[in-house]
Amino acid sequence: MVSIRTAAPALLLLLAGCVSGPDHKPPEMPLAAKFSEGGTKVNGDVSGSQWWTAFGDRKLNALAEQGLAENLSI
């Protein structure tokens, strides 16, 4: 078990690292007034494309097939 003589200084050092100075100001980050919503291109049905087969992992293929078979809302 750790003694209080070694735990107390270690805890104080750990907590001292969390203190930021009194003059700390978070950086200002300018944001756009409006974000774009992306393009209008539709990629189609992603679940039918079987993109996961590119990894060549039999376990991943089995899990994806099981998930598609058991989850009817995909």
DSSP per-residue letters across 3-59: -HHHHHHHHHHHHHTT---TT--PPP----SS-----S-----STTS-GGGGG--HH
> Please, are residues 50 and 64 in contact by the beta-carbon 8 Å criterion?
yes
Chain centroid offset of residue 11 CA: 29
For residue 38, pLDDT over 70 is answered with no
Question: Considering the entire predicted model, what is its pTM?
Answer: 0.38
pLDDT of res. 34: 77
The two three-digit tokens of residue 59, written as one number = 């376990």
Give the per-residue pLDDT at 24: 75
pLDDT above 70 for 15: yes
Q: Which of 66, 38, 42 is nearest to 52 (CA)?
A: 66
